[in-house]
Amino acid sequence: MSDIVIRVNGLSKKYRIGGRRESYRTLRDSLTGAFLSPFRRARRLLSGQPYGAAELDKTIWALKGISFEIKRGEVVGIIGRNGAGKTTLLKILSRITEPTEGYAEIRGRVGSLLEVGTGFHPELTGRENIYLNGAILGMKKAEIARKFDEIVEFAEIDKFIDTPVKHYSSGMYVRLAFAVAAHLEPEILLVDEVLAVGDASFQKKCLKKMDDVAKKGQTVLFVSHNMQGVKGLCTKGILLEKGDLKEIGEVGRVVDSYLMADINSCDMERIWESQEVAPGNDRIRLRRIRLIPETGDRSKLITTSTPVKVQADYWNLVANTKLILNLALYTIDGCIAFVSMTTEESNWHGRGFPKGLFRSVCYIPAHLLNEGIYRIRLLFLDDDAIHLYDNEEAMIFTVHDINDRGIKWYGRWQGILRPKLQWTTDYVEHL
């Protein structure tokens, strides 16, 4: 029997963007459209508007002809920037979506955790969804019952197990979803980075559970931006870049390639001219992200002694939304340095935001950050802590450790932060 449990060959996936959805059409609509089509075409040509091929919806290739093989028992980290195709790949392997070209062969029972609540029926209770997911995986009722108490204990939702999951918070959702995916004995476990919504203790517990699953000889594919987690858990890495398979191999080497590419792509501003091309969704879209070093010579160099403003311009597309903007700063290998969020005073005075373009600015003081590469994550919430939009790679920048003469000194200090704290020294007693 072959050790290959996942074989991907020439896999491609194309999506249409910016196009209008086709509504349901009656026979009369179709006949009317056919009759009027020549007149519409003539009107477009006379007005200079595109027709035919130029009028087709824009398309984007989320994956472009990738091929690889995964052996039984391998723990594989899938990494890359936002839009690289990581989640699309897992959706195809989970049979949630079909490829445009190529194919993927999967040998074994697949458990997947791709998005909060994927595979859950909102009207069913937590108990009913556990049995439903087990049945979808092909398990018998007795097998599910044997694992039931362990799943509930892991998810920490025993008081709400008979409540419809549509009433669960996002944290409860993800705890139960992970517990189901990891405990119902899948031969292949696919996990996207939904663990980011959990607290630190839950993330640690999930990573330990995935490690236990891997030690039992099951195959794990893990998508994450936490490079320390990927290095600690995985033995093999896959690096995707704009839908292409950039590199595959030993996890440390692949992670290093990803980090070096990020270092070389550092910039001080990202800007999108229109809502159509801006990242976001139907609630929030980014307009600009900008780093502004507060130095007299307007230098782009950020040092340990440079105060920095992080400016985020964004469109609020739903009136009367009480927005909260959360900024998290990570080291390049995924350790979190700090989290900050807008206060009621700085957040439209606690009122609902009208539709429009807004600007939020976060001030990072001098003598706080250590030398290194940092990643900014912007998370938009409403006042009920519901996630509206999450941009995990809003900006990447470098902090340098130099003195006034431009020379690096002392070497890199230990720790993520390097604060300049207030000290006093007093003469207490003569010896």
Cα gap 229→204, rounded to integer Å:
10
Q: 382, exposed or middle or buried, with CB in 10 Å at 0-12, 13-18, 19+?
A: middle
Residue 114: which of 222, 229, 237 has the closest Cα?
Answer: 222
pLDDT of residue 218: 86
DSSP for 286-300, written as a single string:
EEEEEEEE--TT--S
For 378, the token pair is 């912007």
Cα gap 55→385, rounded to integer Å:
40
Tell me the pLDDT of the chain (431 aa) as tens digits.
468 999 999 999 998 765 444 444 444 454 455 555 555 555 555 555 554 444 445 788 999 999 999 999 899 999 988 788 998 999 899 888 899 999 999 998 887 777 655 668 889 999 998 998 888 777 788 888 998 999 999 888 889 999 998 888 777 887 888 888 778 777 888 888 755 555 667 777 877 888 888 888 889 998 887 777 788 889 999 999 989 999 999 998 898 888 776 655 557 889 998 898 899 999 999 999 999 988 755 456 788 888 999 999 999 999 998 889 999 999 887 888 999 998 877 666 668 899 999 999 999 999 999 988 899 999 998 877 678 888 888 888 888 876 544 445 556 677 888 888 888 688 899 88
pLDDT of residue 47: 53
Residues 6+ apart with CB under 8 A from 205: 154
Please state, in angstroms and as integers, the Cα–Cα distance from residue 93 to each residue in 8, 66, 87, 88, 397, following that order.
9, 13, 10, 9, 34
Distance of CA 173 to the CA centre of its chain: 17
For 54, the token pair is 């130029």
Q: 96, exposed or middle or buried, with CB in 10 Å at 0-12, 13-18, 19+?
A: middle
Asked whether the beta carbons of 254 and 234 are under 8 A apart, the reply is: no
Please report the domains of the chain, with CATH numbers, ordered by start residue.
60-263 (3.40.50.300), 269-399 (2.70.50.60)
Cα gap 27→170, rounded to integer Å:
43
3 state DSSP class of 398: strand
Q: Residue 431: how many CB atoms within 10 A of its CB?
A: 2
Cα gap 180→113, rounded to integer Å:
9
Asked whether the beta carbons of 179 and 186 are under 8 A apart, the reply is: no
Asked whether the beta carbons of 316 and 278 are under 8 A apart, the reply is: no
Helix (H) or strand (E) holding 251: helix 251-264
Give this prediction's pTM.
0.63
pLDDT of residue 168: 86
Residue with tokens 């429009």: 356
Phi, psi (degrees; rounded to nearest 5) at 141 = -60, -40
pLDDT of residue 31: 47
Cα gap 98→48, rounded to integer Å:
37
Q: Which residues pair with 125 in a beta bridge?
A: 164
